[in-house]
Structure 1
Amino acid sequence: MSDFSKSLEVSSSGLRAQATRLRHLSENISNADTPGYRRKLVSFETAFGDGNTTSTVQTGPVRLDQSVLETVYDPSHPLANDLGEYDGSNVNLLIELTDAKEAQRSYEANLKMFEQTRKMSAGLMDLLRR
């Protein structure tokens, strides 16, 4: 496998991993007000190719955040107990938005690497044609 192909493989794996992370972050944000919702956590793992020394990134299993759910006082809510409380979600919008911004920047960096590799490959092909 050529170095260009390896570089494209690494950057595309980063694109896929960050896209998955962004999808789960958007699910967390959209369910921030859902009672009993636990935020999803995405981890990254190194994936080694078929006997290659090139390692790529992939997402690991999605885990649920086991931190304590927020207790919400609302006696009129259908899920409220005798004390008028129910379990809210453990999603902190500030953390989710910060993580989303980080994932977006990482996605953009991987995309830039992909584009630069493609341009270098095209430039090499032009030189070889001369």
Structure 2
Amino acid sequence: MTNTDAFSTLPNVKFVSGESSSSVILAANGPADAHLEPLFAEYSLEGSGYDLGSIVHALVLTEDAVLLKRFRFDCEAGMFCAYGSDLEALYAVATGLERLLADTELVRSMLAVAQERDLFD
């Protein structure tokens, strides 16, 4: 069972708790993802919050598609955001995003999946 304390171990993704739902967020084009800019550029993307959402979506589809029913995306140009009331699902999304931030080959792979499945906004 995931609790809110688990999110404090994540170095880049921020957890925001709300009354009826919570969110995991990351500012796009910031220090945590700046190194991914050349990879996004290969796909003519800026690395926006929407683009981060697309690769997270691809990762979830690849690893546990059922998880998509347990949270929602609400990305903006400058921010990645996933929200919902299921802390375990949000933690899975947050750790997936952390993995992407740490693994450029995984990002490259998920960019290909996102393109193949037409996940880019």
TM-score, structure 1 as length reference: 0.27
Of structures 1 and 2, the larger Rg is shown by 1
> What is the TM-score normalised by the length of structure 2?
0.28
